[in-house]
Structure 1
């Protein structure tokens, strides 16, 4: 593959400085966030529900080993909630800490001059003006694009997150900031392509092959005895990816890395038993293209003589003045050095998992947690606070004038034990009794109380280093569920319950009097 494969692009110079905005839809309305605030755009991840919080909180997700609160921007802006669709996306924004905001669908990144941004005061909008930076004239029949301020949007219902972020940017990860742009759903006959530059030439991958776009990290592990285009291995979201320079792979001059360089995480989809993703370093990402069949052509045989069938097709845009070469991801596997890098990444993944197990075995500062479930969500409580786990009897003994939060009493080997449904602690609906339910006997200030849970999953041993502060989402949540365990390798987030907070001081007094 040579530089002569595609035509050089000529772009007009803008006299005014450009600002970039990520545009998206909520219903039929278009909004935007400043590009500088958007870290990443992802599909809807698996999430853990968090009780005792606002309805705007969709849950907690695992993002690159960090716990990410995900909020519903519809609810924050006082729109009616709707079911998630294939187009729904999470915009990860940095407000001092990383927060996910769900939108109906993402459109594109636009360049805007300062003169194109108007004051929001003169525009009729159902959105609180304090949440708006301004408006952009969309220049089409869809009207204005309202620019939202991410920090102010989050502050409306989650002030604790912002306050905590001011004190500590524990979740911010500037070394691997990323952005993934996914266009709104295309027509059946239109191809969606992510275009990028390599040595001033324009290439593209099919949108479905590109998982995300990541900034170059500071830490790249070198791989010995491979060709120069294999830059090494990176750790992304708990998985190891080989990092390949497309410039070097295509025989182009390897220049110095700069702020425009990006890593495209591309799925080669060849080896389902192993990781099929690779990080490809490009000079810069341009846009998401919508290309019709009549703008696409076959590749001249001359162009594929250098590296077999690297190029799948040629797109002729702007009346043929702009040529984009569409690459085949799977063709990269023809390079032995790329295959070796995959093997190294797979081996490094296994080594990391083994090392984590070894560290846990050697760590004397371990913690054991009883993991239980409520409404299919996992929670943990220190095994030191749990005296025993027992089955729920067919019938709990009712005692006259017992406090309403106490479901009944049970005789446990001669000891009378008040029983409380754990679901009521988290404002959850009760469920019918089942054989899977268990009673956790917990000691709170020398008083034993039984708490009914939906089921007990396991006793988990882990290092105390794996326990971290949970995002402060509400006063009640922060008090009762202020810690989490993020097992990113297993895609599990376990919220840790503070046993002392299960009963208020008044409830503890009532329980003590009942037993008195």
Structure 2
């Protein structure tokens, strides 16, 4: 980009948008970068294209086309983000960056700017360059118009992070994470699972290791040994293609158990849990043991594993030797566990969202039969009978004004409890149980506007170049919608059976 002698005038960064040439004062620009993946905020102002991770900092991205009342277009190789510095950075999405110009103040026309301004344009002047007439945008005025600041703002810093640990009033119960191994459903206690992640395509192999060891992967500044549940359980090891890694601690050693896929999170009815038959309590060699069997209300039989009995003693000795120091690290992680938070991550329309794990009662398949109710909001799919209690079911895509889903086997029902309300949210799919430190939770930028009450924080996984929007369970429903759910709590049918559809 050509530069000029700054002593003879002000410098401007020029760019193109919708075929027009615009400029902003160069001193306001901290950098220009290529377009990066965006985390889209539901129900945010139209001009907010999303949030991006700029070297560990969450930055809102505003579309110049939208700010000027024009339609956005698909990102191209020439698209750029013009990052404006200051106390609250914001990035402008432009079609193309043109040049860096130095313009004498005498050549900036103010009166002509008013006459040449098109609808929705707010200009600080115009000037002539070699490539044509350039309009100086009043960015502050455009942003103020598109994102009017609300009077109610969340506190930032520690107060924002504290809001993540939302107290939940649902009936506490034992919770299991279920997963598939060779077509059979197994489970571990949620308390025993540190995280659920995906294994990389290429694993580092360990020469001379036990056949159950699939390799090692990088995990949180350490090497994580991966062990095949198919081998440990003696079921179809040759056909293994699973990449779902369940991170847990076995006798103080942090390991990853490789399953075919994660399935659900369930709050179990203790009356449906039975001790495993003695014939299943130990296999030859004792390397795989089933502690209990859970009979779900859907007639699913789920085998509950106990991690301490998964491995032979000689395998554990090899693991301890191969991961020297892992025991000490594991104890350190356990000691600092109170500083870590856990979240359930799910997908909606290609975007990632999270809820505090303590606000999630369970995750289950979307039921085939949902009783619809008349004169209710369009996003309320209806109600179901979940173990004798009436549960309202909400289509979260509709709730967020997203395009309807085409259905699919990956859809899940996430049962969420907030204060006095309990509802099932239909989501596109559940991806993982994420553990992160409190420092990874950052306040959402102010430009999210009214959506700030819904998405008050962002889980910023800077090292992975990834952001997850953290939803506030207390704000998932509007005041009117919470009143609707209150009606379920007040009716006798809420205690059991089907509600009246009068």
Q: TM-score, normalised by structure 2?
A: 0.57
CA–CA separation in structure 2 for the residues paired with 1:433 and 1:408: 17
Distance 1:403 1:44, change over 3 A: closer
Aligned counterpart in structure 2 of residue 425 of structure 1, from 392, 395, 399: 399
Q: Does 1:155 align with 2:169?
A: no
CA–CA separation in structure 2 for the residues paired with 1:13 and 1:431: 56
Describe how 1:216-365 pairs up with structure 2 within 5 A: 362-365=336-339
CA–CA separation in structure 2 for the residues paired with 1:100 and 1:419: 37
How far has the Cα of 1:120 moved from its partner? 4.3
CA–CA separation in structure 1 for the residues paired with 2:417 and 2:404: 23
Secondary structure at the residue paired with 1:473?
Answer: helix
Count the aligned residue pairs: 317
Are 1:95 and 1:151, in contact at CA under 8 Å, matched by a contact in 2?
no
CA offsets 1:39-87 (integer angstroms, 9 cap, x no match) = 1111111111111012222211110211111111012122343332221
CA–CA separation in structure 2 for the residues paired with 1:405 and 1:361: 43
Are 1:95 and 1:150, in contact at CA under 8 Å, matched by a contact in 2?
no
Are 2:15 and 2:23, in contact at CA under 8 Å, matched by a contact in 1?
yes
Match of 1:369 in 2: 343
Distance 1:126 1:361, change over 3 A: farther
Secondary structure at the residue paired with 2:369?
Answer: coil
Aligned counterpart in structure 1 of residue 445 of structure 2, from 461, 471, 476: 471
Q: Does 1:146 align with 2:135?
A: yes
Are 1:91 and 1:103, in contact at CA under 8 Å, matched by a contact in 2?
yes
Describe how 1:376-391 pairs up with structure 2 within 5 A: 376-391=350-365
Q: For structure 2, which runs of at least 5 residues remain unmatched after alignment?
A: 159-328, 492-502
How far has the Cα of 1:384 moved from its partner? 1.1
CA offsets 1:119-171 (integer angstroms, 9 cap, x no match) = 14456323469832222221x3x432222232222222013399989x9999x
How far has the Cα of 1:393 moved from its partner? 1.2
Match of 2:60 in 1: 69
Secondary structure at the residue paired with 2:141?
Answer: helix
Are 2:455 and 2:472, in contact at CA under 8 Å, matched by a contact in 1?
yes
How far has the Cα of 1:481 moved from its partner? 0.8
Distance 1:465 1:420, change over 3 A: same
Match of 1:253 in 2: none
CA–CA separation in structure 2 for the residues paired with 1:60 and 1:479: 16
Match of 1:509 in 2: 483
Decide which moves more: 49-58 or 466-475: 466-475
How far has the Cα of 1:467 moved from its partner? 1.0
Are 2:12 and 2:102, in contact at CA under 8 Å, matched by a contact in 1?
yes
Match of 1:28 in 2: 19
Aligned counterpart in structure 2 of residue 46 of structure 1, from 28, 37, 40: 37
Match of 1:394 in 2: 368
Match of 2:83 in 1: 92
CA–CA separation in structure 2 for the residues paired with 1:74 and 1:131: 13
Match of 1:78 in 2: 69
Match of 2:423 in 1: 449
How far has the Cα of 1:388 moved from its partner? 1.1
Match of 1:173 in 2: none
Distance 1:398 1:512, change over 3 A: same
How far has the Cα of 1:436 moved from its partner? 0.9
